[in-house]
Structure 1
Amino acid sequence: MKKFLWRYFCITAGCLIASTSINLFLVPHHLLSGGVSGLAIIFYFLFGFPIGLQIIIMNIPLVAIAYKLLGKEYAITTIYGTILFSVAVDATQFLAKMNPLDDPLLACITGGIISGVGSGLIFRFNGSAGGLDIVAAVVRKYYSFNFGVVSFAINLVIMMIAATFFGLKLAVLTLISMFVSANLTDKVVEGFNRKKTLFIISYNTEKITEAILKEVGRGATILRGEGAFTRQEKRIIFVVVSLTQIAKIKLLVQDVDPHAFMIVQDAAEVMGRGFTLPGTKYIS
């Protein structure tokens, strides 16, 4: 029950944050967002239609598709997020009068950051605010299309419309805002607690593992492999560490086996004992 309430609390917070970014930073400078929200903002600038009300209306056919193709649970979550986001956009419309940033470039960057944080919270807890989120889910489930390409094509059309009505400058600023928002969304979804994974191939795995345990305080997993050319059995050390521990492990490995083969990779998010759970810091 706590997880359920926490999930919907975070989705709610994400919707409120994302809606605030629209009225506080985008609308005052005639900037747009992507997808359905971007279309709604265009019609708001042209005809004065409420942005939130438009978002609900435009999402009705998309939610119907989600219910039919993606299931009841996804549709219910989408309806909740869509209605909340739409209501929040219209409820915070008064913020557009504040215009805290006079510089359009700063406004587009700040708006993109805040929008990305809000969207990231929604996606991190498997929520949806409708629009292109539904299209993405359908594309992932039924088609082999790359959704990034589909999303880019849709937003490109929106930007062309924006350039036609509001000028190329505002269209470019909108693209900057969308780029910043997309990157922040990924960061929030993946997590900021980034680690490094190491694969170490050596004939002295016992000494290297012992050094990592004692000197770095991290556990390691021994994987078994075979050389493609020599057909010799090899033991591979797999270990997850923080960024600050990389240099120390490199020195330890070089001291034990200067000929060791080591690969360092990014880990977007690490969960489990030693990283997100209390207890020993050894991971295996």
Structure 2
Amino acid sequence: MVNSFRTYILITCGGLIQGMAMAVFLFPHSIPSGGAGGLAVLLNYWLNIPLSFALWLVNFSLLVAAIKWLGNASAIGTMYGITITSLGVHLFSFPLYRPYENVWIDLAFGSVLLGIGVGILLRQGVSNGGMGVIALIIAKIKEIPPGKPLFLLNGSIFVFTASIIAWPIVIQALLSQWVSTRMVDYLFKLDLYFVKAPFISLRKSRKK
């Protein structure tokens, strides 16, 4: 019970940090935070769907994979994390929270915060949604940090998004992903008990 409570507290923190990074620093410049973020930006661009709802809608489309490969507990945690992230995007989508207008400053702050938020979620054995579901599945199967597959998967979405909106976005998005996925791998490898993912502990115990 205590471990479950701790896990959901961390998922809440990770989701809110991720949502703040998107709403305050990345989305105002149409910089996709990842595969799901890129598709959410496109839905907003094409259909004027609110970014928070578009992000929630895109993320839930991959929950079938989370249930099949990551288990019910991880899927429930992913659903919760996606909902918290979408609420975070909605809560922080106000000019009050925009301290800067420079795209490169926003890119730097947003990428670091995004990596911290996603890293916290992945360390709890849940996905941040979108391509994070697939990246976490690959990480579990190959027993590697999820940063690299996350970067490669999101790259294809960035190219498509940039071809629709503006090509400079792909450079900014790739830079953002490079920084954020480095943060993900750093947090994923960090040996701190309070952010340790359940499946990591199980994997180590099997090897003993």
Pairwise TM-score range, normalised by the shorter structure: 0.7 to 0.9
1:71–1:30 Cα change, 3 Å: closer
Counterpart Cα distance in 2 of 1:270 and 1:118: 16
Aligned residues: 192
The amino acid of 1:50's aligned partner reads: P
- What are the equivalent positions in structure 2 for 1:8-27 lying under 5 Å apart? 8-27=8-27
1:11–1:108 Cα change, 3 Å: same
Normalised by the length of structure 1, the TM-score is 0.59
Counterpart Cα distance in 2 of 1:159 and 1:136: 16
Counterpart Cα distance in 2 of 1:13 and 1:153: 26
User: Considering only CA atoms, is the larger Rg found in Structure 1 or Structure 2?
Assistant: 1
> Contact 2:22–2:110 (CA<8 Å) still a contact in 1?
yes
Q: Which ranges in structure 2 are unaligned for 5 or more consecutive residues? A: 194-208
- Structure with the larger strand share: 1
What's the % identity of the aligned pairs?
28
Q: Which residue does 2:127 correspond to in 1?
A: 128
Q: Which residue does 2:202 correspond to in 1?
A: none
Q: Which residue does 2:55 correspond to in 1?
A: 55
- What CA RMSD, in Å, does the superposition of the two structures yield over aligned residues? 2.7
Q: Which residue does 1:167 correspond to in 2?
A: 166
Q: Which residue does 2:111 correspond to in 1?
A: 112
The amino acid of 1:2's aligned partner reads: V
Q: Which residue does 1:35 correspond to in 2?
A: 35
Normalised by the length of structure 2, the TM-score is 0.79
> Contact 2:39–2:157 (CA<8 Å) still a contact in 1?
yes
The amino acid of 1:130's aligned partner reads: G
Deviation at 1:102, TM superposition (A): 2.2
Counterpart Cα distance in 2 of 1:161 and 1:94: 27
Q: Which ranges in structure 1 are unaligned for 5 or more consecutive residues? A: 192-268, 272-284
> Contact 1:39–1:158 (CA<8 Å) still a contact in 2?
yes
The amino acid of 1:184's aligned partner reads: M
Q: Which residue does 1:231 correspond to in 2?
A: none
The amino acid of 1:155's aligned partner reads: N
Q: After TM superposition, where is structure 1 displaced by more than 3 Å over at least 4 residues in a row?
A: 137-144, 146-154
Deviations, residues 51-106 of structure 1 (Å, cap 9, x unaligned): 222233223342123223432222111111122222222232225x6432222111
- Structure with the larger helix share: 2
Task: Say if 2:109 is the partner of 1:102.
Answer: no
